[in-house]
A and B are shown apart, each in its own frame.
Chain A
């Protein structure tokens, strides 16, 4: 402790510590890139098993992380900007999933499920913001307790309507089946050509969508005029209200957008996983862990946390099936112990 304090009081050691972190990160990135793109030598196969298993776990982890990000980013957006803890966020996810299932089943259109789930959950989020968070402004605990109550009630209503069975949303034909990626798995013994890894197209599609949404959110918040307005409103509500900006409208829009994202995530999750009771708490918890690890209120933090947790779960279930949950937990504990505000959170 004493060392850390004395070194932080002068600029020199701090800078070297920072550059050391960058160097470590760079080396780690290079190792991962090499692991992905090189054809593995035999000794590595002896240690880690076949490359295909490794790359599949990695891709599964990253795409699962993309799904976690879609859920958690709405949660962290709402929390980061308005300090509202919405523990009914998992219910919005599951509700969106069920709606998406019904839409795609009735209309036969997968793409149509997205806007409808988004709009429905955004409407629900608007109601939540107006009747719970605005009315109980500043009463953190009561807000949080009410959202817990709402999640209990919603869970039972959904169980009532859709029962306890599993559902899955079918991906359209143009996304079903695997595509060949540019990642080599091994060299063919017969022809000597590289064999490339095949991966489900729908998961890659979702990964791309999550990246676009994440970058878009970050860009709007940090680089656009609207983002500046939002962040100013967060720092000083009265000032902004006095300057004639309709701050309540901004808040309700953010809340609706965050809730809508949960609905979209529900359709995504319903496509490459399944829809069932209990998924609401599962995704609420994964969102909590993701934002705790990444840093509450930080969009890049949510992305980092989501990828870390997604990969931890997938690698865990491949290489140490009994302890995959422990791995997630250890990451969370380590972050809380050494950096309580989260990896990219503001101190």
Chain B
């Protein structure tokens, strides 16, 4: 990353310097989070939000850059999680191969890429809104299949007792190490997504989003670009899937049931589907609401179990009034804040 940014630096708009100062403030704050929060917050709030954020980021790359709303990203992450449990070690010793963890992780990411690319190959044969329907059908087929298949996926119960490796003598699913692990992965994938937008591939992908027919008329193989985008998204959701299974130690069909599949879409849209930071904002909002929904809902005078109602209403309001999500609302707020003093100055 470092020397790439140096190479591009003179032009000043293609690289990491495009990331505004307040993002760097956030980065420093995030690095310091473990000094002032409990293990619960580090692990259950931030760790989970980073993982969901990465899965949503893979959707954001497909939807925001490529115009393909794929609902198969949670499934790809779950497939990676299953791969870690099956090729690595788990409590279900009769199925798991207990291969060394680097092998299992690499295979896991490869399988996530494969799931994404195969789904993509089926979905890109049709246009536009069909993608949602086809990927949703593929995702649910995976869910029902893992629930019924016992020889490979161990059916309804799935796998438990999946432990992250002991590298450098650190227990990686302890709150603070796990916090930094997920933070590192999330930050890397975030910066990658920002960087990607100003690469020939990223630009071409946005061109495909705006006008696939014209892209073909300019010499691009549109479908190949779409498939490549699915592969890139598959890498990110694969890494997230590995982290997911390490965090909870278990993976089952319910990890990628219809609910979680829709949740990824909800998270991405609430945060903002057009920019890389959106998924992480959405994920943090989702996780905080989910964790503290009991308190929030009782404060609102509602039944504490109505989390889905709360998040569903939030989603509806966002889609209806701010299609670019919370980030869009924030932008408009900031521009108004900046514009107002200027106008006053001009008047005075």
Contacts and interface: CB of A to CB of B under 8 A. Distances in A.
Do A and B touch directly, given a CB cutoff of 8 Å in the complex?
yes
Given A155-B308, A156-B306, A292-B133, A332 B141 contact: yes
A155 to B, nearest CB: 7
B308 A156 contact: yes
Contact of B145 (A83, A85, A326): A326
B291 interface: no
Interface in A137-188: 140-142, 144-146, 148-150, 152-153, 155-157, 159-160
Given A141-B69, A146-B320, A332-B141, A85 B148 contact: no
Contact of B125 (A149, A326, A340): A340
Given A145-B269, A324-B148, A325-B148, A153 B316 contact: yes
Contacts of B265: 145, 148
A66 B150 CA distance: 31
A142 B308 contact: no
A325 B141 contact: yes
B140 A285 contact: yes
B141 A160 contact: no
B311 interface: yes
A64 to B, nearest CB: 15
B318 to A, nearest CB: 9
Interface residues of A, number: 40
Given A141-B129, A292-B134, A153 B313 contact: yes
Interface in B97-135: 122, 125-126, 128-130, 132-134
A296 interface: yes
Interface in A3-20: none
Contacts of A21: none
A341 interface: yes
A157 B125 CA distance: 37
B137 A289 contact: yes
Contacts of B308: 152-153, 155-156, 159
Given A145-B265, A285-B136, A322-B149, A336 B129 contact: no
Given A281-B258, A288-B133, A322-B149, A160 B319 contact: no
Contacts of B130: 292, 296
Given A156-B306, A160-B306, A336-B122, A292 B137 contact: yes
A249 interface: no
B14 interface: no
B82 to A, nearest CB: 16
Given A157-B309, A160-B306, A150 B136 contact: no
Nearest to A345: B126
Given A292-B137, A322-B149, A144 B132 contact: yes
Nearest to B263: A152
Given A288-B136, A324-B148, A144 B129 contact: yes
Interface string B279-321: 0000000000000000000000001001011011101100110
A104 interface: no
A117 to B, nearest CB: 23
Nearest to A152: B312
Nearest to A336: B122
B122 A285 contact: no
Interface in A185-199: none
Interface in A309-347: 321-326, 328-329, 332-333, 336-337, 340-341
B161 interface: no
Given A144-B132, A337-B122, A149 B137 contact: no
A336 B311 CA distance: 34
A92 B303 CA distance: 24
A40 to B, nearest CB: 29
B145 to A, nearest CB: 5
B262 A148 contact: yes
B76 to A, nearest CB: 16
A285 B134 CA distance: 10
A146 B316 contact: yes
Contacts of A159: 308
B191 interface: no
A146 to B, nearest CB: 5
Contacts of A150: 312, 316
B266 interface: yes
Contact of B315 (A83, A140, A149): A149
Contacts of A149: 266, 312-313, 315-316, 319
Interface string A288-307: 11011000100000000000
Given A140-B129, A144-B132, A322 B316 contact: no
B156 interface: no
A322 B144 CA distance: 10
B258 A336 contact: no
B266 A152 contact: yes
B132 A153 contact: no
Contact of B319 (A85, A146, A296): A146
Contacts of B316: 146, 149-150, 153
A281 B306 CA distance: 19
Contacts of A155: 308
Given A145-B319, A285-B136, 17 more contacts: A83-B129, A140-B129, A146-B316, A149-B312, A150-B316, A156-B309, A157-B309, A160-B303, A160-B309, A321-B148, A322-B148, A322-B150, A325-B144, A325-B145, A326-B141, A328-B141, A337-B125
Interface of A: 83, 85, 87, 140-142, 144-146, 148-150, 152-153, 155-157, 159-160, 281, 285, 288-289, 291-292, 296, 321-326, 328-329, 332-333, 336-337, 340-341
7 interchain residue pairs of minimum CB distance: A152-B312, A153-B312, A156-B308, A149-B316, A340-B125, A329-B141, A325-B144
